[in-house]
């Protein structure tokens, strides 16, 4: 079987990669186990040296790695370079901080000494999407490797060159064999890898529907999983917000990667007194965006990654307009080669419309009106998703509202982003568990309780 990739900029075939057969998968599993038997006993210093060696190789090859993303999934080259740099940061962050994150915790008991130590589990499977091929790979593997696990990477079938390049980084860095291996598989081939006893945990990033299936398979095999799934992320713009700052940041948040981000600002909920003024500021900024070839330095909006994704986005926009939304910009796929969709601005949207009830993965800004801050909060929470959110307004009121937002992440007067230093993840249908920060590295460890006698009588 082949993984055939269409260049989303041209609509023409880019390349094809063969998938692994059952014997090759078995060899990868054996290598992962053998690598773990060695790696679990290695010091944090040695693990850090290995991860930093990988980061150094990335630094030397940033342009080539960035272009792989640009060609396979259409990420503008400026954004692709930034993603490579962020992946380097993730590797270096965990190399520096993992030992502290995983330090033993002393707990009082009736023992002479009792504590919890954090031990590796074994080979882990990371099932990754196409929209941030390098960042999401390192978000998975950097903490896992520093915890002493080994990693099997099943990347999205539409970014096989990215996946191959990530695995090659570890080979070029000369790190021990088996730390990270690429498993080029079709989606329907991954179930038996999840079920294999040698795989001790599963990390998945993708849609809620696919995540539910992965969670079911992992649960049936009695192994932990971390899921980062879809979102319909709300951004609340209150009457006392700095509208220029909010418009600058929210347009960037919504339009980065052509809007193909789980944590993008997808529902802009604006208090009535500033509703019309805010729409004009957003429209002005969206009109300045440049749609074009993602290899060009001036391009800010590249293509949608696949034809089916573009067509689904078009359906969502058309349905929302039919339900009563006003379209002030865009609204129709562009003609010509490739899978381009123009920046689209929908206003007078209500929360029962398709663009709010479904996750929109593309450059579509949706603006809703709220009578007051309380109604804005109610609209924000009226969703099956709970990934990320933001609030714009006076800091004291905005921060007070944060605990009432049903989301795994809240940004106050700033962009929602992932950061190696901070945990991220969702609630409700947006996921299970956390990645990154001190919380993320604890997702795949054995929190082993150790009781040391003699008993003290407490």
**Confidence band (pLDDT; 50, 70, 90) for 120?**
very high
Q: How far is it, in rounded angstroms, from Cα 13 to Cα 7?
A: 6
Spell out the domains of the chain, with CATH numbers in brackets: 2-229+427-450 (3.40.605.10), 234-412 (3.40.309.10)
First to last CA, the chain: 63
Q: How far is it, in rounded angstroms, from Cα 57 to Cα 168?
A: 10
Q: How far is it, in rounded angstroms, from Cα 352 to Cα 225?
A: 32
> Residue 385: how many CA atoms within 13 Å on its side-chain side?
27
Judge whether 141 counts as a catalytic residue.
no
Mean pLDDT, to the nearest integer, of 81-90? 98
**What stretch of H or E contains 456?**
none
Residue 451's DSSP bridge partners are 114
Q: How far is it, in rounded angstroms, from Cα 199 to Cα 214?
A: 14
Pairing state between β 445-452 and 150-154: unpaired
155, 136, 154, 145: which is closest to 196 by C-alpha? Answer: 154
Q: Identify the active-site residue in 79, 83, 228, 359.
A: 228
Q: Dump pLDDT digits (tens) for 307-340.
A: 999 999 999 999 999 999 999 999 999 999 999 9
Between the CA atoms of 268, 269, 274 and 277, what dihedral angle is there, to the nearest 10 degrees? Answer: 30
Checking phi first, is residue 433 left (phi over 0); if not, alpha (psi -120 to 50) or beta? left
Compute the residue count for the chain: 458
**Confidence band (pLDDT; 50, 70, 90) for 458?**
low
Q: Cβ distance 264 to 363 under 8 Å?
A: no
Model confidence at 363: pLDDT above 70: yes
Q: Dump pLDDT digits (tens) for 123-175.
A: 999 999 999 999 999 999 999 999 999 999 999 999 999 999 999 999 999 99
Model confidence at 53: pLDDT above 70: yes
88, 424, 363, 401: which is closest to 235 by C-alpha? Answer: 401
Residue 204's DSSP bridge partners are 127, 227
SS (H, E, C) 269-311: EEEHHHHHHHHHHHHHHHHCCCECCCCCCCCCECCCCCHHHHH
Q: Identify the active-site residue in 83, 262, 359, 435.
A: 262
Judge whether 262 counts as a catalytic residue.
yes
Q: In terms of C-beta density within 10 A (0-12 exposed, 13-18 middle, 19 or more buried), how is residue 290 classed? A: exposed
3-state secondary structure of 123: strand
DSSP alpha helix (H) spans, 221-242: none
Pairing state between β 123-127 and 201-205: parallel
**Confidence band (pLDDT; 50, 70, 90) for 457?**
confident
- Burial string for 384-417 (b: 16+ CB within 10 Å, else e) reads ebbbbbbbbbbeeebeebeeebbbbbbbbbeebe
Average pLDDT, the chain: 97
Q: Dump pLDDT digits (tens) for 197-208.
A: 999 999 999 999
């Amino acid at each position: 079987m082949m993984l055939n990739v269409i260049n989303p900029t041209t609509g023409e075939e880019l390349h094809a990669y063969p998938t692994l057969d059952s014997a090759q998968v078995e060899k990868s599993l054996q290598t992962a186990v053998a690598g773990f038997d060695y790696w679990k006993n290695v010091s944090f210093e040695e693990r850090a040296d290995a991860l930093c060696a990988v980061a150094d190789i990335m630094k030397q090859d940033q342009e080539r790695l960035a272009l792989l993303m640009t060609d396979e999934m259409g990420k503008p080259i400026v954004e692709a370079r930034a993603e490579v740099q962020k992946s380097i940061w993730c590797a270096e962050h965990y190399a520096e901080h993992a030992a502290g994150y995983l330090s033993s915790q002393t707990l009082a008991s009736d023992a002479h000494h009792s504590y919890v130590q954090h031990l590796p589990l074994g080979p882990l499977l990371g099932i990754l999407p196409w929209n941030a091929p390098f960042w999401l790979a390192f978000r998975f593997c950097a903490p896992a490797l520093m915890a002493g696990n080994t990693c099997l990477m099943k990347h999205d079938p539409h970014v096989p060159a990215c996946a191959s390049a990530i695995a090659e980084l570890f080979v070029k860095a000369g790190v021990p064999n088996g730390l990270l291996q690429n498993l080029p598989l079709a989606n329907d081939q991954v179930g038996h890898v999840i079920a294999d006893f040698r795989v001790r945990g599963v990390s998945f990033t993708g849609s809620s529907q696919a995540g539910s299936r992965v969670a079911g398979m992992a649960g049936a095999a009695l192994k932990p999983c971390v899921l980062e799934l879809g979102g319909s992320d709300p951004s609340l713009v209150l009457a006392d917000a700095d509208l220029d700052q909010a418009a600058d940041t929210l347009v960037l948040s919504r339009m980065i990667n052509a809007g193909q981000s789980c944590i993008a600002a997808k529902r802009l909920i604006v208090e009535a007194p500033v509703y019309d003024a805010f729409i004009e500021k957003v429209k002005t900024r969206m009109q300045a965006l440049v749609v074009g070839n993602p290899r060009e330095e001036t391009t800010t909006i590249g293509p949608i990654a696949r034809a089916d994704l573009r067509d689904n986005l078009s359906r969502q926009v058309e349905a929302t307009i039919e339900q009563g939304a006003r379209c002030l910009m865009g609204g129709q796929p562009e003609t010509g080669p490739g899978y381009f969709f123009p920046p689209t601005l929908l206003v007078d949207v209500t929360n029962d419309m398709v663009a709010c009830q479904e996750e929109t993965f593309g450059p579509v800004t949706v603006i809703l009106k709220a009578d007051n801050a309380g109604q804005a909060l109610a609209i924000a929470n009226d969703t099956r998703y709970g990934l990320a959110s933001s609030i714009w307004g006076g800091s004291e009121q905005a921060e007070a509202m944060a605990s009432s937002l049903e989301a795994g992440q809240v940004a106050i007067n700033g962009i929602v982003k992932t950061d190696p230093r901070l945990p991220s993840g969702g609630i409700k249908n947006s996921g299970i568990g956390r990645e990154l920060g001190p919380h993320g590295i604890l997702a795949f460890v054995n929190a082993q309780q150790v009781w040391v006698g003699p008993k003290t009588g407490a």
